[in-house]
Structure 1
Amino acid sequence: MIGINTATAEEIDAVPQLQGHGSEIVRYRDERGRFEQLRQLEQVPGLTGKIAGLEGIVSFD
Structure 2
Amino acid sequence: MIDINTASAEEIDAVPELQGHGFEVVRYRDERGRFDALRQLEEVPGLAGKIDGLEAVVRIG
TM-score normalized by the length of structure 1:
0.97
Relative to its length, the structure with more helix (as a share) is 2
Q: Distance in 2 between matches of 1:44 and 1:5?
A: 13
TM-score by length of 2: 0.97
Question: Alignment RMSD, CA only?
Answer: 0.5
Structure 2 unaligned residues grouped into runs of 5+: none
Q: State percent identity of aligned pairs.
A: 75
Question: What are the ranges of 5 or more consecutive residues in structure 1 without an aligned counterpart?
Answer: none
Q: Which runs of 4+ in 1 moved over 2 A?
A: none
Count of aligned residue pairs for this structure pair = 61
For the residue of structure 2 that corresponds to 1:55, the secondary structure is: helix
